[in-house]
């Protein structure tokens, strides 16, 4: 039997314009009614429908309620770390130079291949718990540090197991086209053939929710990226792209032509890329952690994205090379201070728009019909989510209708 629960005595940031034109959609002295994993009603406590007979009532003590956070771009499953490379970069060696010398992603590939599935699950679980402690209820995890059929499958299985073991909804993305593995040295087109051949097999095993690629001069060309996207399209899988991170490759327009869910990074995005993303309904995923950690100076074109009406998401891009951070709230803060997002845009970026970047329309707002994923914060106003940093005001997390303990 599905249980009906009334979560009351909260200030609710619904992010639903129906509850206020300022975008926060605040409801004072509000309540949420859930049945099973669904929200069935949201409103002021006094307006609770008389036919609602909740089996349970939970007093939230006046907390601020927001939708559960969505981290829509992570590389959470990997072996080892790259602290030594960080030291090299601090001494002036560039990320590209390290990658070209065989370090970078390739060094993490070696450590990942050497790790057992259980070890990978243990380290990824520890990282996921940091994100979950700050209210993350939906997490995207990419492969891309295995770069063989067996090792990519292992990483994707770890992501699936993590989602099954934790009160967390995990979405998987196959990123076989992340870097050229050593056994394909000098043969990038052959490697792309292999990636395209692995995809149906991984998909048949139920391991793939979306397909991504790294389109860059140190990654794969637009023509190679296109072949990966065609393989995804043949299986009906949605695509996304690491686009224009270090240079403008025209990747965003290519991805948009395939109806991409999102284009991510985007520091070097052109006006044409923005127009193509707008026309395709593609979300711009901003990754201030990578911008910060690589000490980039070229900002993504935020004002132009805003003017064009392209939805902007914000994510950790957690990975050992360019963004070894595990705080989505810190990313919201950085999105404001470094990228000049407004606090409302930053909060929409880690909820509503992050869900859309994963193709999910059933979460990201607190309205009837949405998944019952929400967070109770010890805060007065949701703009504080982008204000405090190095501080975790998360007090309770309700994931799919059940409180996490
Ligand atoms: O999102 N840009 C490519 N992929 C990752 C970095 C991977 C790494 O350096 O290990 C990113 O920044
Ligand atoms: Fe990434």
Q: How far apart are CA 223 and CA 183, in angstroms?
A: 21
Q: Tens-of-pLDDT digits for all 405 residues of the chain?
A: 689 999 999 999 999 989 988 999 999 999 999 999 999 999 999 999 999 999 999 999 999 999 999 999 999 999 999 999 999 999 999 999 999 898 999 999 999 999 999 999 999 999 999 999 999 999 999 999 999 999 999 999 999 999 999 999 999 999 999 999 999 999 999 999 999 999 999 999 999 999 999 999 999 999 999 999 999 999 999 999 999 999 999 999 999 999 999 999 999 999 999 999 999 999 999 999 999 999 999 999 999 999 999 999 999 999 999 999 999 999 999 999 999 999 999 999 999 999 999 999 999 999 999 999 999 999 999 999 999 999 999 999 999 999 998
The single-letter DSSP state of residue 190 is H
Q: Which three-class secondary structure state does DSSP give residue 68?
A: coil
Q: How far apart are CA 398 and CA 376, in angstroms?
A: 8
Which stretches does DSSP call E strand in 237-311? 240-243, 262-265, 283-286
Greatest Cα-to-Cα distance within the chain, rounded to the nearest angstrom: 70
Q: How far apart are CA 75 and CA 182, in angstroms?
A: 20
Q: How far apart are CA 148 and CA 240, in angstroms?
A: 21
Closest alpha carbon to 167 in 351, 372, 319, 392: 372
Q: How far apart are CA 7 and CA 163, in angstroms?
A: 25
Residue appearing with tokens 């197991």? 161
Q: How far apart are CA 332 and CA 348, in angstroms?
A: 10
H-run or E-run covering 38: strand 38-44
Q: Which of 103, 140, 214 to mutate to test the pocket of ligand 1 (most atoms within 8 A of CB)?
A: 214
Q: Is the CB of 104 under 6 A from ligand 1?
A: yes
The token pair that represents 263 in the structure block: 């284009």
Bridge partner residues of 371 (DSSP): 38
Bridge partner residues of 58 (DSSP): 7
Q: Structure pTM? A: 0.98
Q: Which of 142, 321, 357 to mutate to test the pocket of ligand 1 (most atoms within 8 A of CB)?
A: 321
CB 338 within 8 A of CB 375: no
Q: Is the CB of 321 under 6 A from ligand 1?
A: yes
Alpha-carbon dihedral angle through residues 303, 307, 309, 314, given to the nearest 10 degrees: 10
Q: Is the CB of 108 under 6 A from ligand 1?
A: yes
């Amino acid at each position: 039997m599905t249980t009906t629960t009334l979560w009351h005595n909260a200030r609710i940031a619904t992010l639903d314009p129906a509850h206020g034109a300022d975008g926060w959609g605040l409801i004072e002295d509000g309540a949420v009614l859930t049945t099973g994993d669904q929200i069935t009603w949201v409103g002021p406590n006094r307006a609770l429908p008389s036919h609602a007979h909740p089996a349970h009532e939970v007093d939230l003590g006046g907390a601020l309620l927001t939708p559960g956070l969505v981290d829509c771009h992570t590389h959470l499953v990997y072996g080892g770390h790259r602290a030594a490379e960080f030291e090299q970069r601090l001494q002036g060696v560039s990320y590209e130079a390290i990658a070209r010398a065989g370090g970078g992603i390739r060094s993490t590939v070696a450590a990942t291949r050497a790790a057992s599935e259980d070890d990978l699950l243990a380290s990824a679980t520890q990282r996921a718990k940091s994100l979950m402690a700050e209210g993350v209820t939906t997490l995207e995890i990419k492969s891309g540090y295995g770069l063989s059929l067996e090792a990519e499958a292992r990483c994707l299985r770890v992501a699936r197991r993590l989602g099954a073991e934790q009160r967390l909804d995990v979405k998987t993305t196959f990123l076989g086209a992340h870097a050229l593995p050593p056994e394909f040295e000098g043969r990038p087109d052959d490697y792309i053939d292999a990636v395209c051949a692995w995809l149906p097999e991984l998909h048949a095993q139920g391991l793939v929710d979306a397909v991504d690629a790294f389109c860059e001069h140190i990654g794969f060309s637009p023509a190679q990226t296109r072949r990966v996207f065609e393989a995804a399209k043949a299986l009906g899988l949605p695509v996304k792209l690491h686009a224009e991170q270090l240079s403008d490759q025209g990747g965003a327009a290519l991805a948009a032509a395939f109806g991409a869910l999102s284009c991510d990074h985007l520091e070097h995005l052109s006006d044409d890329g923005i127009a193509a993303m707008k026309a395709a309904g593609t979300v711009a995923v901003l990754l201030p952690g990578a911008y910060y950690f690589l000490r980039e100076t070229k900002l993504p074109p935020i004002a132009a994205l805003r003017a064009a009406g392209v939805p902007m998401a914000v994510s950790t891009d957690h990975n050992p090379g360019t963004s070894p951070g595990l705080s989505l709230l810190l990313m919201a803060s950085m999105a404001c201070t470094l990228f000049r997002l407004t606090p409302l845009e930053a909060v929409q970026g880690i909820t509503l728009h992050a869900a859309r970047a994963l193709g999910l329309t059933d979460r990201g707002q607190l309205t009837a019909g949405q998944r019952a994923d929400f967070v109770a914060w010890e805060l007065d106003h949701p703009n504080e989510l982008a204000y405090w940093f190095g501080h975790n005001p998360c007090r309770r997390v309700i994931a799919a209708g059940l409180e996490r303990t």
